Structure 1
């Protein structure tokens, strides 16, 4: 698949990949990437979407070899503006209102952020971080990313980044998106990233919460893989114009156990 570059004059270029739909599918699926090791900038979901009929837009979070949460460099949010322009441009090119967006962890944060920002119909987000600034602050594994995003890692810059996603969820006037949030109380990030922010979704009538608790889940990175078949089932339904309402469900063999 060809690597493409969205150029915007002297502004930050956005790297992406695009696949045209098969059959008569009108759905556009946008894929946001999480942190990966050893290369934190690779595309997610390249292999598992082989059987999808959607148009697929993969957006790369790669700016001089490092991710930036698709947002900023030295607190300049030109990257965010570029990603938004790419999303709007591809949507306009395809002339479709059937749009879905998906991501896990960092990608889940940004699937939620850009999904709500652009009133995307279907948003699939797994184990997102809400406290973005804190996640890349001094002393964390991704401190080097935070230094590039913020320029200087200060309490003020951390607070600004921490407020981005919660503010988008809370203050958006568009509340009709079908949101599917996958999480797990086994995830160490659950008490700080998920639980305190669930009330923000109280006015979203199509909000779905999927909580997984299983002997197969012991850490953050396993939640999305555990639910991959459920996530693919959602995508296949989106491709047929179906956005199911699940409400609050729990899956896995760990419920009712100490």
Structure 2
């Protein structure tokens, strides 16, 4: 699939891919990517959406060869502005379809952030980080990303980034947006990123929490893979205007 570039003069370009959906489908799916190795900037969900009828917008988190949580470089949030302009442009091009957004890990964080910012119809977020600055701070595996995002890594800048996603969840007016949050107690980020932030969703009557426990889940990256059938099942329903209410559920054989 061809890679496209959203250019904005001298500002950082936004790389993306777009797949036209079936003629009868009035649904746009936006895909945000997580950290990947060895290339941390590749697109997620590239090979699993072949049976979707949706229009699909993949947005690449690649700015000078490194991710930036789709937000900033040297604390300039020009990237965030560009991502929002791209989303609005595609929605306008498609004459305002139903919109859903999906992502895992870093992509899960940004699915929540941009989903609530733009008031989309459905949000799927798997194992997101909420403390974005701390995740890319000094002595972390992604310190080099933090240096590019913050310029100089300082406590004040870490705090500012840590407040981005919780602040959006707290202040968003789109509290009736269905949110599907996938997590697992086996994930080491469960105690630090998920449990302390569940209270943020007390204003969201259509919040759904899916907790997985299985021998197939031994680390962070396996939570989304384990739940891929459920995630696809949701997307197929979104295409028909259906947003199921699951509430708080547990799945997997490991409980």
SS in 2 for 1:124: strand
SS in 1 for 2:123: strand
Asked if 2 retains the 8 angstrom alpha-carbon contact of 1:27 and 1:96, the reply is: no
SS in 2 for 1:83: helix
2: distance between equivalents of 1:18 and 1:69?
Answer: 20
Match of 2:215 in 1: 215
Match of 1:62 in 2: 62
Match of 2:195 in 1: 195
Asked if 2 retains the 8 angstrom alpha-carbon contact of 1:67 and 1:145, the reply is: yes
2: distance between equivalents of 1:216 and 1:195?
Answer: 22
2: distance between equivalents of 1:142 and 1:31?
Answer: 22
2: distance between equivalents of 1:124 and 1:118?
Answer: 14
Match of 1:230 in 2: 230
Pairwise CA distance, 1:10: 1.5
2: distance between equivalents of 1:184 and 1:249?
Answer: 11
SS in 1 for 2:222: helix
Match of 1:34 in 2: 34
- Which digits, 9 at most, give the CA deviation of each residue in 1:63-98, with x for residues without a partner? 010000000000000000000000011001101240
1: distance between equivalents of 2:203 and 2:186?
Answer: 26
Asked if 2 retains the 8 angstrom alpha-carbon contact of 1:183 and 1:211, the reply is: yes
2: distance between equivalents of 1:92 and 1:177?
Answer: 20
- Consecutive unaligned residues of structure 2, counting only runs of 5 or more, are none
Match of 2:79 in 1: 79
Between the two proteins, the alignment pairs up a number of residues equal to 255
Q: What is the 5 A alignment of 1:80-229?
A: 80-229=80-229
- Consecutive unaligned residues of structure 1, counting only runs of 5 or more, are none
Asked if 2 retains the 8 angstrom alpha-carbon contact of 1:212 and 1:250, the reply is: yes
Asked if 2 retains the 8 angstrom alpha-carbon contact of 1:182 and 1:224, the reply is: yes
Provide TM-score, normalisation by structure 1. Answer: 0.98
Q: Which 4+ runs in 1 deviate beyond 6 A? A: none
Provide TM-score, normalisation by structure 2. Answer: 0.99
